[in-house]
Amino acid sequence: MSELAILGGPKTRTEKYPDWPVWDERDIRAVAEVVRSGRWGGFPYPGPKTAELAKKFSELQGGGYAVPMINGTVTMEVALRAAGIGWGNEVIVPAYTFQATASAPMAAGAIPVIVDVDPHTYCIDVEAAAKAITEKTKAIIPVHLGHQMADMDAVMGLAEKHNLIVIEDCAHAHGAKWRGQGAGTIGHFGSFSLQSSKTLTSGEGGILLCRTPELAAKAASVIDCGRPHALGGGTEDANGFSVMGANYRLSELQAALALVGIERFPAQAKQREEMAAYMDEALSEVKGVRVLKRDPRHTTRSFYRYIFAIDPKEFGVEHDALCAALDAEGMGCWVGYEAMHNYELFQPQKSRLAVPNAFPEYFEFGKMKFPEAARACEHEAVWLDEAIFRAGTKGVDDAVRAIKKIGANAQELNQAADELRKKYGN
């Protein structure tokens, strides 16, 4: 019998990793309080729980003016609109991220310009971004990916040189810090997701951190159907409309859940960070595995998923086979996003979902080459579930044992994977 669980052998870990989201009676009491109050929705904006969430989240990140809203995708669109960026403008985005980072500029009427990523961090390659700047470039969206942060010194230097708006995509970076400064407070905006899988969650929701109260007031107007807002929040006129907006308000029920999550967050983040350091050290000794480089300026790590890379030739299998085998061994695992230029969504010639004629003729997606993003997405990257890092040292040790076991039996797994690919045509 094989040693590998995916081929019928015993699982490395039979004990379940901790559930997510975490909840207890505090969440039930918080929601019940809102239900009993009769004030469930977000109008007039902000409601009392939403206002409290804005204050507490700004404190958690160490600055900024927080505008809670319906999700962490619309946050980036709202940031662009609040900054006056739209039709005819270009926004630089990295090639390795969720599609929302590029679709947000499109929703605002701008064109996403895709650039490659740094192979050491999988975050935006700032040198590549610099080469992509034209007279139409108005903003850059660096993504803090997995458990890494983009080089914010370089990003801000580039932005200042070319007068660009910086929108940090912090969907994975609640609590992270660069040189002691909170993610999302370095650029002009910081976009955060509270979606159910994120490490601070209210089921659905998002928060936009703004550098100034003026930008926050503009963002609040956009999400509150265009109603004018006083600087720093608070509706001036519930019946007047100053900009084209929509109802992107966060409900009081979601705000209540997020407030309880903020109470738990510091202890959870500390545990994840400690276990990530433990994982770094353990994986550094595994043949064929590359731990992503930790920049010393990234002073506090807080993450959505822990990402490491493999050399398929040295390890013995491609990352998709490793992820499938790890999942069978009891470790939640994923291969990550596909390279952005491969998304059909952004290619009118391929997809009915794409915006017709959204891109100028010089945007030839079929000819775009992003070798580092492609290598990560197609061969290298392995994304481990954050629950592994809330299970103490044993949780991490079990994951490392499984990775080593798969590496030791890579030839058998590779043969089985090849046979399956032939059988199913993949």
Give me the CATH number covering residue 338: 3.90.1150.10
Same domain, 193 and 274: no
Distance CA 169, CA 222 (A): 19
Helix axes 213-223, 74-82, angle to 10 degrees: 120
Residue 234 has pLDDT above 60, yes or no: no
| Matching residue, tokens 């404190």 | 59
- In this structure, is residue 18 part of a structural domain? no
Distance CA 41, CA 187 (A): 30
Residue 384 has pLDDT above 70, yes or no: yes
243, 262, 281 — which closes off a domain? Answer: 262
- Domain span at 314: 266-424
Any idea what the Cα angle at residue 20 is, between residues 19 and 24, rounded to 5°?
A: 85
Provide the pLDDT for residue 416: 85
Provide the pLDDT for residue 418: 73
Q: How confident is the model at residue 233 (pLDDT cuts 50, 70, 90)?
A: very low
Q: How confident is the model at residue 235 (pLDDT cuts 50, 70, 90)?
A: very low
Same domain, 256 and 272: no
Provide the pLDDT for residue 163: 98
Same domain, 47 and 83: yes
Average pLDDT taken over every residue of the chain: 92
240, 262, 284 — which closes off a domain? Answer: 262
Same domain, 154 and 183: yes
- In this structure, is residue 273 part of a structural domain? yes
Same domain, 37 and 175: yes
pTM of this prediction exceeds 0.85: yes
Nearest to 355 by CA among 368, 366, 343: 343
Single-letter amino acid, residue 146? G
